[in-house]
């Protein structure tokens, strides 16, 4: 099943799981966007306080203090300046991969 909504993205169902794909064009230099994904001093400005260890197998920790959600996972895919993937979950929770 595929449900496409151009303004929001694409949602697909596969083997009982859902995959959401959102693409956005951002009017900033790619270096600036990348630093907002991996630099702790910039993460807090748009997402949550946390740390990203930029390498495959590194840690991804975000603490959404106001709502009590904690992301604590490992980087599962990494290409400097191009790709960052980790699970949007905490210890003991099912894997919910997110790819930037």
User: Which DSSP symbol is given to 58?
Assistant: -
For the entire predicted model, the pTM comes to 0.81
Is residue 1 predicted with pLDDT exceeding 50? Answer: no
Is residue 76 predicted with pLDDT exceeding 90? Answer: yes
3 Cβ partners below 8 Å, 6+ apart?
10, 11, 12
Quote the CA–CA distance of 45 and 42 in Å, as a whole number. Answer: 5
Here the CATH number for the domain that contains residue 85 is 3.30.530.20
Quote the CA–CA distance of 99 and 25 in Å, as a whole number. Answer: 16
The whole domain housing 95 covers: 26-99
Reading the block at residue 100, the tokens are 């930037």
What does the pLDDT look like over 53-65, one tens digit per residue? 999 999 999 999 8
User: For the chain, how many structural domains are there in total?
Assistant: 1
pLDDT of the residue at 7 = 67
Q: Bridge-partner residues for 59, per DSSP?
A: 74
């Amino acid at each position: 099943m595929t449900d496409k909504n151009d303004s929001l993205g694409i949602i697909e169902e596969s083997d009982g799981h859902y995959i959401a794909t959102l693409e956005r064009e951002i009017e900033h230099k790619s270096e600036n966007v990348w630093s907002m994904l991996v630099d702790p001093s910039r993460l807090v400005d748009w997402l949550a306080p946390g740390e990203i260890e930029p390498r495959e197998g590194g840690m991804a920790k975000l603490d959404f203090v106001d709502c009590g959600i904690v992301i604590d996972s490992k980087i599962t895919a990494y290409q400097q300046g191009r790709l960052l993937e980790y699970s949007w979950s905490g210890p003991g929770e099912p894997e919910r991969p997110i790819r930037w």
